[in-house]
Amino acid sequence: MVDAQKACALKHLDDGGRFLHTSHAEKPESIYNNPHLYLKMSPWLFPYGLGGIGGTRLSLSKLSDEKHKSLLMMYHDKRFQTDLSFPFIAFSHEQVKAGTTQSYIVANSKKFDNIASQMLSIDKQTLEDLAT
């Protein structure tokens, strides 16, 4: 399977095909309140660097992220509908945001192992009782 994919990629390049190279930044991007996130992930969808989800322009800032994504999916040239990754990324992003509450734990690195083992040993029934 991998060899076939490599062969297809090599043929694509030999035929003069193009590709987009992406890399990882030293500092990860936040998925919360980041109007530049989608602009950086999909520059071909936002060619002028405008219209990112969670944008700061007055007309965009009034939209919820979910509503903004649904409007992008109805865009006249269908670029958001036909893109292979945008619908998946947008839906996954909504799932992650719905499943988390932006909480985190800050721990001194010397104490991290101890804190992690204590958290892993918490009784699940106790957590459920606290949640209810």
Render each residue's pLDDT in the chain as its tens digit; 132 residues: 778 888 888 888 889 888 776 667 788 788 877 888 888 888 899 888 888 887 666 555 577 888 889 999 998 999 999 998 899 988 888 888 877 765 666 777 788 888 888 888 888 888 788 888
| DSSP assignment letter at 5 | H
Q: What global pTM score does this model have?
A: 0.54
100: its two tokens: 């988390």
Phi/psi of residue 57, each to 5°? -65, 145
- Domains of the chain: total: 1
| DSSP assignment letter at 29 | P
Beta-carbon count within 10 A of 68 CB: 20
What is the domain extent for residue 105? Answer: 2-131
